């Protein structure tokens, strides 16, 4: 009797593990909690007007785990995000040779994501085997988005603003598309609409532990309050009055 019960419990655990990604087509998830989707699966975020579906994998050039490669490669997944009745297709791209979550900003949310399984040499991953692991977090509401400031710099000149975005150090991902406006030490913050420099001569400094030449630190989200300045050539930048580390939180608390 006990053997049959044990076999049933093992079978149930296997079924539950499999159903965590490939069971119901529509699932309910919560903010700040990890969940997982297979292709074609859809999740609604409890208490938020937000839903996400895993549409397809458009590229998987990740270096196999048992091979030495010159390039780490990457994997790109298309998701559809639905908010306030409108849907948007977004591509989430993760580099190869990492087990860390990658991150993307979307309309006041941070989407942390990781794709499994990882490739092995000589083995093709079937579409129905892909799993997209996700954690969705809500960020504080910014008063302005970077793209608006870049588009109309003189309309914002001298105004106090707040922006939330990723710390990109010395424009490590080449998103600002121009040189630093004040000093060579100026650094970049980037949201989903654009990237803008923060003056290194600002009263507020980058939180401790962040390095302007560290690719690892480009996943850190900052909240910057400051004044918009514009160069003679029309390039907008921010003179920061306060800088707060939003995510991932550091050990020391992180605001200046």
CATH number of the domain at 57, please.
2.60.98
Same domain, residue pair 69 and 115? yes
Same domain, residue pair 124 and 31? yes
d(CA 153, CA 95): 34
User: What are the Cα distances from residue 159, in Å, to 99, 153, 193, 228?
Assistant: 41, 10, 19, 6
Same domain, residue pair 110 and 159? no
Q: 13 in a domain, yes or no?
A: no
pLDDT at site 253: 42
Return all residues near 194 (Cβ < 8 A) that are at least 6 apart.
145, 146, 147, 149, 150, 175
pLDDT at site 20: 53
Q: Which domain holds residue 113?
A: 19-138
pLDDT at site 139: 85
Same domain, residue pair 164 and 78? no
Same domain, residue pair 151 and 112? no
Q: 12 in a domain, yes or no?
A: no
Q: How far is CA 144 from the centre of its chain?
A: 19
Same domain, residue pair 185 and 102? no
Q: Counting every residue, how long is the chain?
A: 256
Same domain, residue pair 182 and 227? yes
Of 138, 168, 195, the position where a domain reaches its end is 138
Confidence (pTM): 0.69
Q: 198 in a domain, yes or no?
A: yes
* Domain CATH number, residue 227: 2.40.50.200
184 and 213 Cβ atoms separated by less than 8 Å = no
Same domain, residue pair 45 and 25? yes
Residue in this structure with the two tokens 């003679």, named with its chain if needed: 232
Q: 38 in a domain, yes or no?
A: yes
| Predicted confidence (pLDDT) per residue in 97-140, tens digit | 988 899 998 888 999 999 999 999 999 999 999 999 999 999 88
Same domain, residue pair 157 and 128? no
Residue ranges of the chain with pLDDT lower than 70?
Answer: 1-20, 22-23, 143, 249-256
pLDDT at site 12: 40
Same domain, residue pair 158 and 230? yes
pLDDT at site 100: 87
d(CA 191, CA 1): 59
Number of separate domains in the chain = 2
């Amino acid at each position: 009797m006990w053997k049959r019960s044990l076999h049933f419990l093992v079978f149930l655990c296997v079924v539950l593990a499999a159903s965590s990604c490939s069971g119901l087509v529509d699932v309910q998830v919560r903010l700040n909690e990890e969940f997982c989707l297979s292709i074609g699966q859809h999740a609604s975020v409890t208490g938020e007007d937000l839903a996400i579906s895993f549409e397809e994998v458009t590229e998987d050039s990740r270096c196999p785990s048992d091979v030495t490669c010159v390039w780490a490669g990457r994997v790109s997944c298309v998701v559809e995000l639905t908010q306030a009745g409108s849907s948007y297709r977004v591509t989430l791209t993760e580099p190869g040779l990492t087990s860390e979550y990658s991150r993307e900003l979307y309309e006041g949310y941070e989407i942390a994501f990781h794709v499994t399984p990882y490739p092995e040499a000589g083995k093709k991953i079937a579409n129905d085997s892909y799993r997209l692991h996700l954690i969705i977090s809500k960020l504080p509401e910014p008063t302005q988005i970077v793209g608006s400031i870049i588009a109309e710099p003189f309309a914002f000149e001298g105004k106090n603003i707040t922006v939330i975005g990723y710390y990109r150090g010395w424009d490590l991902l080449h998103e600002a598309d121009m040189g630093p406006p004040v000093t060579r030490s100026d650094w970049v913050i980037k949201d989903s609409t654009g990237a803008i420099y923060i003056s290194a001569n600002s009263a507020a400094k980058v939180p401790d532990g962040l390095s302007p030449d560290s690719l690892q630190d480009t996943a850190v989200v900052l909240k910057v309050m400051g004044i918009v300045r514009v160069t003679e050539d029309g390039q907008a930048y921010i003179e920061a009055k306060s800088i707060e580390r939003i995510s991932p939180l550091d050990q020391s608390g992180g605001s200046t």
